[in-house]
Structure 1
């Protein structure tokens, strides 16, 4: 390499060429950034955070507390001042000693501050420690607020944590040693690459900043993801129905119809052969049908839950019955599709239709009395913002939902990936689960508001009945054999709430399984991994705490246990069925065409 002329300060040779090249890239990227931000799609401002009323109430409550118990507030203030001053003095003493060394840091470890410089370098250590002191003081202030409605206090705590997470020194170049080291190591190329990644993400989402979590070029549906062989045997405006190719000579008489959530794509259950629940079910000797939902645009604005039930659930069940010449199916519903399966089962009960032999629910909420971590997003100001957004676009755009879900785990799903991508210029990993996570779908306006207002906010299904299709649908109508699987650390559908819903089912045959891990990993838990265990307890009269305390723990996946439960309700063995029939010609290979449609606003 040609060296620079260090005596004159002039830069020559390759270094000058690289500098000029990077400067040209910065100019080009600046133009792209200006272009995308000029033409960015807008959304209702209410979706960006709580209205000022929440913070106004919090401030009023805090000062009321100060007047009522000034000693308590002063004590906490003095603790904060004392910690800050002591911290400053320790830093000064460390510098005055002549050794470039930080004070000893015996505090708890935080994954954000894994770089050794956070503990050894006085500058970074001071920044880190003061940030943690400030964060503790803020959360202490939130805890001190007593004269505030519990739900409002929960929101205050959530959004306070969001602000603190956003203000972490790791999120800024000048106070992130990893990013600074990378910039020096690459002669600034990492910053250029990071800017390209940032603009690329903005362009991909019409100016909305959604951090790309996976390398989208690494996967192709039907090639290295969603590869279980099958055929699309039916299609309408709401869904494609996939019948999977048998892998056994004999199959159980009663077919399975699986309804995945329509917030994301169905192939979470068919990522790759090693962890595909779809493949595992087929290999156990079942005729499996899976619904692949349409990704709606503004033309679907008036589509409601009744359309998902009529043109989705009931149609899929009827077509599966016709293809297999059977009178009944075993149904599965995952997440929101499980909630809607409950609505469908109540409807079928009232219609005296016995098409469903048994029902399995994966992490499905049917009692929305306690929304847990989602509570901050279910107050009127936020839902009013969603309603206005839906009215404007005819859909609830997938980017709005993606942003909401990811900020529930902001450090893991927003800031850490953003640091790696935008500050350090790294390419997102080729991770199938994260690829699926970014492949979202829109929700129709009518359906979104029915779900958010009627089910989530008013909890009508569990509290008096949900009016739909000329019926009042209730949980007590569900009288078919039921197996419900919920996940121990699920922040989307907390297991306690799933359990409370199952307790209200009218069925005498109820099985409840609590699996370790969360909303996805708890369900996509193949036996071959032997990773997460599960809990069982036949006494569903117990409250959730008592059920959990007396439950029996089992090593390994819940799949085989559920498989044994299903086998007893699946009928005798018959010859394996080839997908389709004369009335249902094959339309295309799995995974079909609907699944490939990207969300559009």
Structure 2
């Protein structure tokens, strides 16, 4: 309880609880609790019904069995040695004694006690003043932080575990700690408790109604809403760059964007976005749009818009995506413009496909690509980040079985995996805000895009996970696409390789290492922020920074490169613009209209493929 709660009256008896902790209308509160349980029942039905029908098989990114098995190995390390077990228990007991002593000192009026575990930078879970002012909630906070830190230390200190098991243990422990935070429960979160009492539980009625709706929307799996999805419509509010779809096949549409300048660079650009997400991350709004900015700089821009696959695409392979995606895009751009030289751009897994595609096309005698720009792209997966947690032989076998029936992986499962990488930012704050506070999330274009998931075709996805994350075949020269062995050392064109410093998906260290496998000159650039904000950073915003330095050395490390790198304020886009202009030459030509008079436009950008939702 807080100091204000324990102030005494002249009689010496404790003062009553303040009004904010007292139920105003017991009858209304009871009625709202009944309505809350009614909505919880609807959510339970939405979860149960598809399972009874066999429409849902519980094969998410991770299984409870794997979590238990992995963390059991950590427990086994500590419990098989009595000395280690006693030491661990002693540290835990000492931590709890520190928390208890802190509470006693505060009750005695001493406020200088040192907390046993500090909040991590940027942790907003305990921002409400009652987490510190109220003795009870302060005790809960300290006990939780100390316990979670102790649990993390158990995992880190568990020697003898193989690298993959330890990586999983660290990840799973983080998920457990985040889930069990007292900030996630009404009775242990002062802000939630106050709001529930003051609204007579109306917040829980609204929240559980959203919970039931989101469970139904996820067809038996909770699809946590991160934004007001009704506020955006593709082609109306986002993905607004003017252009035309000028070609399409069963895998993709090719968009050519309308020029904004009278003269353009002679050499066009073809963009290969990831198929794991939709391309309009590069065209959210005009003030954020990389596509629009490119056009304004005088580039003729073509872009591959991938299909949102279904059963028909189950056996589509990497060769299909290269042939019917990248090569098809080059053929289309050549027909439209008459040019035979192109600058290619790839983002994330689209960049990984592009890198393999460059080697594949060159082996086929196709050398139309004259430069390549890679955004947050891995070609070597030794330091592949947290996504490595989801890939081992057992998990791939389970995934293959779950994809066998429909021929694809539901987009919601991929979205869940990415959200789990940052569950403290992308899951639990929305769980609390939506379902416990009963508040609708804000309209945010980036989170609308994040939730607009795409399905993964079986053959393509399994090939990617095995050859890249599990076996690291691409950089090792062991990947076979069709009948062609992929050798990145044959890719000798200039490459602009952008990494982002806070990237959980394509770590900067991993991208740096990948630079060494190409055969040509690689300009490695590091951007501030993460996988999205570090890439989509319009110069007008004047945000973040970027670093430039020497070409990655074959025997050098990322840390050595960064130590000598030069920091620059603002966006990396102008730096890239100078780089691409230097490789384009000074030749300019008259601006080209979509289709070039040779291809009849099919429909307006952004096209119909990108509008298909799961």
**Taking structure 1 as the reference length, what is the TM-score of the superposition?**
0.91
Q: Deviations over 1:473-502 (max 9, x none)?
A: 111011112111111111100111112112
- 1:518, distance to aligned residue in structure 2 (A): 0.7
- The residue that corresponds to 1:532 in the other structure is 544
Residue 470, structure 1, aligned to residue 480, structure 2: no
- The residue that corresponds to 1:8 in the other structure is none
- The residue that corresponds to 2:59 in the other structure is 44
After superposing the two structures, state which structure 1 stretch, 247-256 or 150-159, moved more.
Answer: 150-159
- The residue that corresponds to 1:5 in the other structure is none
Residue 58, structure 1, aligned to residue 74, structure 2: yes
The alpha-carbon distance between structure 1 residues 268 and 85, as it changes in their structure 2 partners (threshold 3 A), is: same
- The residue that corresponds to 1:223 in the other structure is 236
- 1:447, distance to aligned residue in structure 2 (A): 0.5
Partner SS state of residue 83, structure 1: helix
- The residue that corresponds to 2:118 in the other structure is 108
- The residue that corresponds to 2:609 in the other structure is 594
The alpha-carbon distance between structure 1 residues 334 and 389, as it changes in their structure 2 partners (threshold 3 A), is: same
Partner SS state of residue 473, structure 2: coil
Residue 206, structure 1, aligned to residue 219, structure 2: yes
* Separation of aligned partners in 2, 1:482 and 1:93: 61
The alpha-carbon distance between structure 1 residues 539 and 313, as it changes in their structure 2 partners (threshold 3 A), is: closer
Q: Is the 8 A contact 1:499 1:512 kept in 2?
A: yes
* Separation of aligned partners in 2, 1:159 and 1:21: 36
- 1:438, distance to aligned residue in structure 2 (A): 0.5
Q: Deviations over 1:219-246 (max 9, x none)?
A: 1111121111111111111111111111
- 1:137, distance to aligned residue in structure 2 (A): 2.2
After superposing the two structures, state which structure 1 stretch, 130-139 or 326-335, moved more.
Answer: 130-139
The alpha-carbon distance between structure 1 residues 180 and 281, as it changes in their structure 2 partners (threshold 3 A), is: same
Partner SS state of residue 474, structure 2: coil
Residue 430, structure 1, aligned to residue 446, structure 2: no
Provide structure 2 residue ranges, at least 5 long, that are not aligned to the other structure.
1-23
Partner SS state of residue 58, structure 2: coil
Residue 556, structure 1, aligned to residue 566, structure 2: no
Q: Is the 8 A contact 1:46 1:385 kept in 2?
A: no
RMSD: 2.3
- Aligned pair partner of 1:568 in 582, 592, 597: 582
- Aligned pair partner of 1:484 in 497, 509, 523: 497
* Separation of aligned partners in 2, 1:19 and 1:60: 47
- The residue that corresponds to 2:142 in the other structure is 129
- 1:199, distance to aligned residue in structure 2 (A): 1.2
Q: Deviations over 1:539-559 (max 9, x none)?
A: 321322211111111111110
Q: How does 1:26-425 map to 2 (within 5 A)?
A: 27=38, 30-31=41-42, 33-40=44-51, 41-44=56-59, 47-49=62-64, 50=66, 52-64=68-80, 66-67=81-82, 70=83, 73-88=85-100, 90-91=102-103, 104=113, 106=115, 108-109=118-119, 110-425=123-438
**Taking structure 2 as the reference length, what is the TM-score of the superposition?**
0.90
* Separation of aligned partners in 2, 1:130 and 1:218: 41
* Separation of aligned partners in 2, 1:310 and 1:478: 18
* Separation of aligned partners in 2, 1:146 and 1:28: 47
Q: Aligned residue pairs: how many?
A: 580
Partner SS state of residue 498, structure 2: strand
- 1:409, distance to aligned residue in structure 2 (A): 0.8
- 1:79, distance to aligned residue in structure 2 (A): 2.8
Partner SS state of residue 427, structure 1: coil
* Separation of aligned partners in 2, 1:17 and 1:176: 22
- Aligned pair partner of 2:528 in 507, 516, 519: 516
* Separation of aligned partners in 1, 2:70 and 2:132: 37
- The residue that corresponds to 1:579 in the other structure is 594
Provide structure 1 residue ranges, at least 5 long, that are not aligned to the other structure.
1-10
- 1:440, distance to aligned residue in structure 2 (A): 1.0
- 1:24, distance to aligned residue in structure 2 (A): 5.5
* Separation of aligned partners in 2, 1:25 and 1:439: 29
Partner SS state of residue 569, structure 1: helix
* Separation of aligned partners in 2, 1:506 and 1:21: 67
